[in-house]
Structure 1
């Protein structure tokens, strides 16, 4: 499987329609982004059960702003619609594999419980 272009129009469907989604926020002028691109593509081929999306921060400025992207490349991982990982900087193949395995290994019931606890602790606005 190859990567998919993610836009404001298809983002929600990508995140809600797939168990695991990895998003690469990038730009054509970004050297580290160009270095990370083939690693991301190889991972997409190696893990066809994961939805690999690329967000061009130049073309999708509102989307990048909505995710508060301040450094590229930035990798985000969603599992069952929940953001579970976000990190700026290009990763090597072994590091990306480690992120994928960690995301696969998450106990999502525990993750949702932790999120609910954090929300309960926040003062009402």
Structure 2
């Protein structure tokens, strides 16, 4: 499966369901260019996962929304909940291990923790 271009316009619908891997990158970034074929190869191996790329130069608002300060940065969603985020280019084996871990998450537990964190965040902002 090929990667999808993620924009501010298609963001919410893209991350809403299933497992979604997002690669934040820029054309001038050497490590991004090294990670790109690893990300693309992984997308070929996992047709059940959505792979999306964000050009941080083109999608500055989206990059800012995520607080991206270093690229490449990989963000992973599962069922609409962000479950992983880390800057740096991962080697292929590390990416595959990460995918296995994300697929193995107990999503009932993750949803419970996410709801609790959201409530605490809202209380702190009030």
Q: What is the TM-score with the length of structure 2 in the denominator?
A: 0.93
| 1:99 counterpart residue number | 98
After superposition, give the CA deviation of every residue in 1:8-49 in whole Å (9 maximum; x if it has no partner). Answer: 111111111x30100000000000000000000000000010
| 1:58 counterpart residue number | 57
Q: How many residues align?
A: 124
Counterparts of 1:72 and 1:42 in 2: how far apart (Å)?
19
Alignment gaps of 5+ in structure 1: none
1:29 equivalenced with 2:32 (yes/no): no
1:49 equivalenced with 2:48 (yes/no): yes
Alignment gaps of 5+ in structure 2: none
| 1:117 counterpart residue number | 116
> 1:63-78 alignment to 2 at 5 Å?
63-78=62-77
Q: What is the TM-score with the length of structure 1 in the denominator?
A: 0.94
Counterparts of 2:69 and 2:107 in 1: how far apart (Å)?
28
Q: Is the partner of 1:70 in helix, strand or coil? A: coil
- Compute the RMSD of aligned alpha carbons: 1.2
Counterparts of 1:120 and 1:63 in 2: how far apart (Å)?
24
Counterparts of 1:120 and 1:10 in 2: how far apart (Å)?
26
